Amino acid sequence: MPLFTVAGLLVTSLACLCIYATSPHQRLWATAWPIWPARLAGAGLFAAGWLAFAQDMRTLAATFTWLTLQMLAFALLPYIGALFHDRRTS
């Protein structure tokens, strides 16, 4: 797999984690992260993730992959948080 594609996957996943961590209902940590610093970091990471995808793919393919990864990450993060929260409290 090309290096920039792997970088785009990691950076976009970290961006989704930053955005999710600001939610007051997240279960990954005991308290939510500060809203504006984490959201600004997430926005910057989103831009860097798309640029990384655009290095190895055409614009349309990069956008499709980037948006699909966001949908996947935002759908899985609440379940991962619930799993970690359940293991901590048990």
How many Cα atoms occupy the beta-carbon half-sphere of 28 within 13 Å?
A: 14
Q: For residue 31, what is the DSSP state? A: S
Angle between helices 3-21 and 35-56 (to 10 degrees): 160
Three-class SS of residue 32?
Answer: coil
Quick check: 17 and 34 in contact, CB under 8 A?
Answer: no
Q: How confident is the model at residue 24 (pLDDT cuts 50, 70, 90)?
A: very high
pLDDT of residue 76: 96
Quick check: 17 and 74 in contact, CB under 8 A?
Answer: no
Quick check: 67 and 25 in contact, CB under 8 A?
Answer: no
Domain positions in the chain are 3-89
Has residue 11 got a pLDDT over 90? yes
pLDDT tens by residue, 43-59: 999 999 999 999 999 99
Q: How confident is the model at residue 88 (pLDDT cuts 50, 70, 90)?
A: confident
